[in-house]
Amino acid sequence: MSLPYIIAQTRLDSHAPSYMRPAGAPAGGEAMLGWALTIIAVAVTVVIAILLVVAVLRKREDPDSTTTRNASDGTYRVRLVSGLSWIYVGLAITVVILLGAFSATVVSLASSAHAPSPPKITMDITAHQWWWEVRMEDSVPSDAFVTANEIHVPVGVPVEIRVQSQDVIHSFWVPELFGKMDVIPGQINVTWMRADHSGTYRGACAEYCGLQHAHMAFAITAEPQNMYDKWAAAQRATSANSLPPNAALPPNVLRGETIFVSTCSGCHAVRGTNALGRLGPDLTHLASRQTIGAGLIDNTPANLMRWVSDAQAMKPGVLMPRMDLRHDDVAAVVSYLTTLH
């Protein structure tokens, strides 16, 4: 068992997501439906079990329900007590329960599909093996921005979520905020959410998608509107604008930027530089993220060193290849990445 796997499981167990603890819509309605179906299923099971026990233990002798023989003429007299009426009653109860469950499920699905009012925020989610690309749309196209794996939303605001896949089938799910939504190549599926309480909610891919399916996590942080506006403004900035004007950067950081652009720009983008890659996550504000590797490990300089040096050792199968860089070159790249707030 690898160390990254143990760390990931520890992070997961520290706050195991559950749809039974809804923190907004439409998760609240889905949780109510889940509880109702669970209670009905348990009640039906208990009633059936009791009836079976009663039927087994009950002793009854009824001469009118037995078969006897007439000795005088050799004929048989048969009189059996019919239980057909109870079958009709049981069938009617079953039909009512199933129709009620079906109707409640349809209503819940309908409420999950459409926000109650025009959403204020729209985000496009693109699933990759094994990370999430996030594009926050805006009424002003130039104000849209791209990030990865970590999403912020304002509390109490409906958010439309449009999902699609770049490779295989995935499933986008935050149990405390909304139900599972299939992410299918060549198709855009739509759901929505509204976080009613501040906090950070863990999400995951809920459809097996390959070797690192279990390590394809993301996080949605719900916060007050002013804090969200501050986060969004920072995300819109280029890497150059995120630094103090005329900042005197250490030589190691400048060297790291040069190495990054020449080595990593084919896959990664950093706005404000010549790194324009689209295969991997946008790293413009990497230093502001809590984790790397789609929730795999904490975003620290030491972990960045390990990741840049050999991502395959930490997350086997990931598309990022092993980098053949000297240790001092990796250290320079990490020094640069830690400035990307």
Taking CB atoms within 8 Å and a gap of at least 24, the contacts of 66-72 are none
Dist CA 180 CA 152 (whole Å): 19
- Please tell me the pTM assigned to this model: 0.78
Residue 143: what pLDDT?
86
> What one-character DSSP code corresponds to residue 286?
G
For 41, phi then psi, to 5°, come to -60, -45
Beta sheet of 24-25, edge-to-edge order: 24-25, 189-195, 159-165, 121-128, 131-136, 145-148
Buried b / exposed e over 297-332, threshold 16 CB at 10 Å, is bebeeebbebbbbebeebbeebebeebebeeebbbb
The DSSP string of 170-237 is EEEEETTTEEEEEE-BT--EEEEEEE-S-EEEEEEE-S--STTGGG-EEEEEEE-HHHHHHHHHHHHS
CATH code, 251-337: 2.60.40.420
Dist CA 5 CA 10 (whole Å): 9
Q: What is the pLDDT along the chain (341 residues), one digit of tens a residue?
A: 344 433 444 444 445 777 777 888 788 888 888 888 888 889 888 888 887 888 777 765 555 555 555 555 555 555 555 566 777 777 888 888 888 888 888 887 777 777 777 768 899 999 999 999 999 998 888 889 999 999 999 999 999 999 999 999 999 999 999 888 999 999 999 999 999 999 999 999 999 999 999 999 999 999 999 999 999 999 998 876 555 555 667 888 889 889 999 999 889 999 888 888 889 999 999 999 999 999 999 999 999 999 999 999 999 999 988 888 898 899 999 999 998 98
Angstrom distances, CA of residue 79 to CA of 64, 76, 173, 259, 283: 6, 10, 60, 95, 84
Angstrom distances, CA of residue 280 to CA of 90, 146, 218, 302, 308: 58, 12, 15, 21, 13
Which residue matches tokens 């000297």? 326
State the CB neighbour count (10 A cutoff) for residue 47. 12
Q: Where are the domains of the chain?
A: 1-236, 251-337
3-state helix, strand, coil in the chain (%, to 5): 40, 25, 40
**CATH for 1-236, among 2.60.320.10, 3.40.50.620, 2.60.40.420, 3.10.270.10?**
2.60.40.420
